[in-house]
Structure 1
Amino acid sequence: MSSRNPLSIILDQNKLTGSNYNDWFRNLKIVLSSEKILYVLDKKPPKEAASDISETELAKLEKWWDHDLQAKCYMLASMSNELQRRFEEAVNAADIHLHFKELYGVQTRSERHAIVKELMTTRMRDGTSVYEQGVRMIGLIEKLVGLDVVIPSELATDILLLSLPPRSMDLWLILI
């Protein structure tokens, strides 16, 4: 990793293995944002410069390719060796990003759906303590947060309270 960017250490410590795509991508965005090159993940430059391109446009295009190469290097250097071999010939950072988004995005959506379904339908079982139910619900909420789902704390509290039977909910409200 580049010694110029001290944030790149988070990519060294959290290499992409596949199953950790969301965490890796969040860290990659932090590093690329600090370098002001995050834009290369979403937009592809033209393949070739037009023959009548101005000096200013040519300079912009060259800057784009430099930024793209830098982002691609950050991405490759922060992958497992197996993934590096698969993507070392990729044309640009946006192609790598798109591939991973397609590969792991569906898995993330289905995982998120399953967790939301469980969170919204879970009700406290007989014999379970309010504490155990709270821990279970908080665990589900934390899993969603790990998948980049933003849940305001008031909503999380309301969802947790809805999972309790009316008598337990009264007790819980007294405690908070």
Structure 2
Amino acid sequence: MPRFSKTVLDGKNYEDWCRRIIMVLPFNKYKFVLSEVALPSSGPESSTRDCVISQNWHTTNESSLMFMQSLMNNELQHLYLDFKTTKDVLDSLNSRFGIKSISHINFLWQSFIHTNLEEGGNVNEHIQKMINSAHELRVMGKRLDNATIISTILSSLPKSFDEIGRIYFMSSFDWDIENFIPRMDA
């Protein structure tokens, strides 16, 4: 793959990133992985020609996936690590980052800040859901710092967690998202 300017996909630059990917794939004769379905790898009825075509498709698809992932930020790389085809990644990215209205982003924000956990609910699942929602909002361009995310999560917890909230709001500790769940278990 040729090098082009380091346009790392972060969500906000999806259209520009996608345009560049679509330009580069045909340049390398890789565009067929976006439209052609892979032949089964090989079987007793497969001709040598079919095996070569299938192997070529899989090799090209793998190279295209690696190329695309190398131009994504770390968060997106992890999200798309298990995707099997270039087309699946582009389809998913388009549904995630294609033109989103401000009202859609505001809806997600309102959902984030008004989500509450009932007493006795699974705290770890709730926190993970809230972190995922915050990540989605960040990817869509909403500015959220860790303090906002953590304070929103703490405010969404039942009354039995009020003491943890007071400790957080009164402490000078620098809580971050990565160590938030272990602190909740302590």
Q: TM-score range by the shorter chain?
A: 0.5 to 0.7
- 1:83 counterpart residue number: 76
Long gaps (5+) in structure 2: 103-186
Equivalents in 1 of 2:94, 2:36: separation in Å? 14
Partner residue, 2:8:
15
Partner of 1:38: 31
C-alpha separation in 2, matches of 1:18 and 1:51? 44
Deviation string, structure 1 residues 18-76 (Cα, Å, up to 9, x no partner): 12111001111122111110121233314543431000010000000111011101110
TM-score for the superposition, normalised by structure 2: 0.50
Q: 1:19 to 1:44 in 2, by over 3 A?
A: farther
Paired residue for 1:60, among 46, 53, 64? 53
| 1:49–1:58 CA contact under 8 A, matched in 2 | yes
Normalising by structure 1, report the TM-score: 0.53
Relative to its length, the structure with more helix (as a share) is 1
The answer to whether the 8 Å contact 1:43/1:94 transfers is: no
1:147-158 matches, within 5 Å, as: none
Aligned match for 2:64, one of 71, 81, 92: 71
Structure 2 distance, partners of 1:23, 1:103, is 15
Separation in 1, partners of 2:40, 2:48 = 17
Query: Take 2:72 and 2:11, find their aligned partners in 1: how far apart are those partners?
Result: 9
Name the structure 1 match of 2:85. Answer: 92
- Give the RMSD, CA atoms, in angstroms: 1.9
CA deviation map 1:126-175 (0-9, x unaligned): xxxxxxxxxxxxxxxxxxxxxxxxxxxxxxxxxxxxxxxxxxxxxxxxxx
What runs of 5+ residues in structure 1 fail to find an aligned partner? 112-176
Partner of residue 42, structure 2: 49
Instruction: Give the 3-state SS of the residue equivalent to 2:98 in structure 1.
Output: helix
Q: Identity of paired residues, percent?
A: 23
Aligned length: 102
